[in-house]
Amino acid sequence: MHDLQRGGQMSIRHTLRAGMAGLALSMAGLALPGGAQAEVLQVRAGSPTRALQVPMNRAVVVESDVAFTELSIANPGIADISSLTDRTIYVLGKAPGRTTLTVLGENGRLITNVEVHVTPDIAEFKERLEQILPGEPIEVRTANDGIVLSGVVSSIAKLDRAMELAQRYAPDRISNLMSVGGTQQVMLKVRFAEMQRSVSKSLSASLGARGTALGEDLGLSIGTNALNNAGALGAALGGALPSTSTSNASTLFGFNAGGVEVGLLLEALESRGVVRTLAEPNLTALSGQEANFLAGGEYPVPVNQDDGTITVEYKPFGVEMNFIPRVIEGDLVNLELKAAVSSIDSTNGFTSNGFTIDAFRRRETSTTVEMRDGESFAIAGLLSDDFRDLSGQVPWLGDIPVLGALFRSAEYSREQTELVIIITPHLVTPTRGETLALPTDRVRPPSERELFLFGRVAADRAPQTGGASEVARQDFSGSYGYVLD
């Protein structure tokens, strides 16, 4: 009876062992993405064992040529193990890192130590990368517990997409060795154009009277505007005009009526002005890098500190530009731009404690736009029209028909401003230095003979080198340029 029971137990044990062996064989044949089969590591006692590469969240089977009795893993947080049979081990990757698998035989005898490398699952990452960025030659490798990306991509936008996807599989463990192909240097041309027009007109009349008798002053003196005091009236009737604005056109009329001297002063002014401002700064920068440009200077401004001392701060003025270009794809450029044109305006300054500080007149814009190579965009524009009409008169007297004009003054002014800022990006590549033309290429110092005998401040000979020499050697005889019929 005992023999039958022992025989039944042996049969059950062999059946379980056969089942576990079949399970081990089925696990050894697990398919990985891309059609690859699960790795099976053969371990032989007394022979060196190579490192075991285990993708994270996937399993690898280890087979031993001798039966083992005990298994241990140095860091269970990196890999998990279980025995399928007394010669088959199931290793599951849990987190990126390295650990050691120890296999012991009978009586605690060491069979082997297996170094286990758990790496991110780059097989799935490669599939997703091919789906999102088809045709991009990006190579994916593992290094330690991270991912290494290399290759040449077509744009920075696709590089950013690849990096963002890699963060899903190996957060903060990505080495970017990718580069961007094509032209990645952008030259930005900015044009500031401003027109200012101003018109002002003014007309005023001054009337004065003084009572006299046989050369004696009777003490009677009246007047309006510029002739509102006896001294001005006496100067006017003596033939001198009152000191008003030196730009005014003044006409003086005076006569005597018995013992009364009468003076009439007419003042008129009309002024027109046009101001044109144009600046064209150009600047080149690498895609994704910031570039700054300033053509002007710095103005010292005194600043009163809390302790009573006065320090000097410098404020820049002139033509300023600051931009960051980004080549998105092909010839599409994203521009983050800040541009300004400023100048010193002494008419709006102020004086305090002996310091005279000038104001600044500034036109500035800050924006972000996208456009293609060679396209232009008007990123800012301004149309301003200021109008002022002022009329003043002596109360009641100015309302008298006809004669009331002698007691009135009128002033009219109008200012118009038009401003536009246009930007044009160009994808550029370096060229040979001798092909570039400089502003100084066409200017040569004169010889002593040319300076003293002929009074020339520059030589007439054509430049021999530089881009200007190429133009100087060309024959432009005949018709050339633009012809309009």
Segment 181-212, tens digit of pLDDT: 767 889 999 998 888 888 888 887 776 776 66
What are the residues facing 255 on neighbouring strands?
A: 262
- Within this chain, do residues 423 and 296 fall inside the same structural domain, yes or no? yes
Indicate if 113 and 154 belong to the same structural domain. no
CATH no. for residue 106?
Answer: 2.60.40.1080
Q: 242 and 132, same structural domain?
A: no
φ/ψ bin of 94: left (φ > 0), alpha (ψ from -120 to 50), beta (otherwise): alpha
Residue 15, domain member (yes or no): no
| pLDDT of 173 over the 50 cut | yes
Residue 136 forms part of a structural domain: yes
> Do 358 and 292 belong to one domain?
yes
Confirm whether 91 is domain-assigned: yes
Q: Using the 3D structure, point to which of 93, 119, 145 is the last residue of a domain.
A: 119
Higher pLDDT, 267 or 150: 150
Same domain, 135 and 156: yes
Are 345 and 263 members of one domain? no
Interval 272-282: pLDDT, tens: 888 787 888 89
Q: Can you give the pTM of this predicted structure?
A: 0.57
Exposure string of 135-170, with b = 16+ CB inside 10 Å and e = fewer, is ebebebebeebbbbbeeebbbbebbebbeebbeebb
Q: For residues 324 and 259, state if they share a domain.
A: no
Using CA atoms, how far apart are residues 154 and 152, in angstroms rounded to an integer?
Answer: 7
Tell me: do 417 and 441 sit in the same domain: no
Q: What is the domain extent for residue 478?
A: 432-484
Do 323 and 436 fall into the same domain? Answer: no
The pLDDT of residue 424: 93
Which pLDDT belongs to residue 37? 44
Beta bridge partners of 213: 216
Answer with the one of 87, 119, 151 that is the final residue of a domain.
Answer: 119
pLDDT of 39 higher than 50 = yes
Percent pLDDT > 90 in the chain is 12
Same domain as 384, residue 314: yes
pLDDT at 161 over 60: yes
241 and 126, same domain (yes or no)? no
404 domain residue, yes or no: no
Residue 426 has pLDDT above 90, yes or no: yes
- Of 297, 383, 293, 286, nearest to 338 by C-alpha is 293
Is residue 27 scored above 50 in pLDDT?
no
Boundary (domain end) residue, out of 250, 269, 288: 269
Question: Could you give the number of structural domains in the chain?
Answer: 5
Based on the domain organization, do 300 and 417 belong to the same domain? yes
Q: Tokens 């008007």, residue?
A: 378
CB 151 within 8 A of CB 138: yes
> Is the pLDDT higher at 275 or at 62?
62
Q: What is the pLDDT of residue 375?
A: 92
